[in-house]
Amino acid sequence: MGNGLPNPPTQWLKRISSKQQGVRTMTNKKSNEDEKKRGIKMKPKLNLDENKNKIFAVLIVALLFTAVLISICLVSVPAGYKGVVVRGIGIGHVFDEGFNFKNPLSTVELVRYNTQRVEFIGAYAADDNEGNIVVNSKDNVAIYMDFQVVFHLDPNQVSNIRIENGNFVETIVIPYCRSVPRNVCANFDALEIRGDSRSLVAAAIQQNLTALFSEKHIILEEFALQELSLPPAYEDAITAKKVAEQNVITEQYNLGAQLYIAERTIVDAQAAANVTIIDAEAKATAVGIIMEQFGITNETEASMVYLNWLYIRALTDPNSNIQYVMGDNPFILDLNTNITG
């Protein structure tokens, strides 16, 4: 070499180079082994987290599916209702109150069967009121009628009522409640409907509604007739009629009182006359007896004897209240007191 040092042998250089390569190879192997060890330790951790997420997702899906399935298959029927299958499999099947399982392909409708009421009141219809109806009387007078009906369904016929009639309130109750009162009121005059025949009209309407409802398996509990409104002219006529009736009743009472007084007067007069006649007959008989007993022919003289006899009898009667005066010095004696001496 140019620096004066001897050149190293070629074999030494090769050995040094091979040793360096061996060290590098061992270092690389160790690095690879470390990386492999790290990879073996980290990979299972990643797989476990992924499995947990998958299991959690599956559970959520299963719960949602179960909830949806239960909501589709479970039907809750409240008290006073029946569940009727109206679409799908088993149309017409009835579910009682409580929780019931149904076919998920079936549609169940809740039908109320317990006591319920429909009102026909006021001039306008509302959510809970169908409004009053107008009926024509026999004499063609328009009358506004307010009433209500109370009814319930036959629990054993709820399915038939729903399947055959749909919404039975709209298809049965309301139409019948509007037609029957019109048919009944056509047989009565306006003053009869508003007056004395009101109860007959209500009874006839209830009887007809009961028969028609029964044909549809609906039981009518009550028909309550509330208000009847006539045109003002008829209302005034009814008022005048009532006033006249009261006047007639008053006059009849007064007439009866007068007749009673007159009859009583006649009876009293007749009794007094009878007493007078009896008294006269008694006196005449007494005078006749005196004339016969004493041989008196003069009737006046016989009457004086009779009067003296009456006077003496009065004086001796302890119950007599006759008072008399004796002597020149008048004084009064009470014959009711006992006099001794």
Measured CA to CA, the distance from residue 245 to residue 294 in angstroms comes to: 72
Taking a C-beta distance cutoff of 8 angstroms, is the pair 132, 146 a contact? yes
Residues making up the chain, counted from first to last: 341
pLDDT tens sequence for the chain (341 residues): 444 445 555 555 555 555 555 555 555 555 555 555 555 445 555 566 677 777 878 888 888 877 777 778 888 999 999 999 999 888 999 999 998 988 888 899 999 999 999 999 987 666 556 788 999 999 898 999 999 999 999 999 999 999 999 999 999 999 999 999 999 999 999 888 888 889 999 999 999 999 999 999 999 999 999 999 888 777 777 677 767 777 777 777 777 777 777 777 777 777 776 666 666 667 677 767 766 666 676 767 767 776 676 666 666 666 666 555 555 555 444 545 544 44
The rounded distance, in Å, linking the Cα atoms of 48 and 41 is: 12
Identify which of 200, 171, 179 has the alpha carbon closest to the alpha carbon of residue 188.
200
- Taking Cα atoms as reference points, which of 133, 225, 140 lies closest to residue 188? 140
* Sequence-ordered alpha helix ranges (H) in 186-231: 190-194, 198-215
Specify the fold of 114-230: Tetrahydropterin Synthase; Chain A (3.30.479)
Q: Given this model, what pLDDT does residue 195 score?
A: 81
- Going from N- to C-terminal start, the domains of the chain cover 76-110, 114-230
Give backbone dihedrals phi and psi of 143, rounded to 5 degrees, phi first: -125, 130
- Smallest Cα–Cα separation from 210: which of 150, 131, 160? 150
Residues in CB range of 155: below 8 A, 6 or more apart:
82, 113
First to last CA, the chain: 216
Tokens 């997702």, located at residue: 57
pLDDT at residue 18 in the model? 58
* SS3 of the chain: helix, strand, coil, percent, to 5: 60, 15, 25
List CB contacts of 339: < 8 A, sequence separation 6 or more.
333
State residue 237's pLDDT score: 72
Q: What is the pLDDT of residue 339?
A: 46
Per-residue pLDDT, 2: 45
> What's the rounded Cα separation, in Å, for the pair 43 and 60?
27
**Of 202, 198, 208, which Cα lies nearest the Cα of 224?**
202
The DSSP secondary structure of 26-62, one letter per residue, reads: HHHHHHHHHHHHHHHHHHHHHHHHHHHHHHHHHHHHH
Instruction: For residue 125, give every residue at least 6 positions away whose Cβ sits within 8 Å of its Cβ, in sequence order, or none.
Output: 131
* Amino acid type, 247: N
Q: Which helix (H) or strand (E) holds 76?
A: strand 74-77
CB of 337 within 8 A of CB of 323?
A: no
Phi-psi region at 263: left, alpha or beta (left = phi > 0; alpha = psi -120 to 50)? alpha
pLDDT at position 93 is 93
* Cα angle value 313/319/320 (rounded, 5°): 55
The helix-helix angle for 174-185 and 198-215 (nearest 10°) equals 140
What pLDDT is recorded for position 244? Answer: 76
The pLDDT assigned to 292 comes to 65
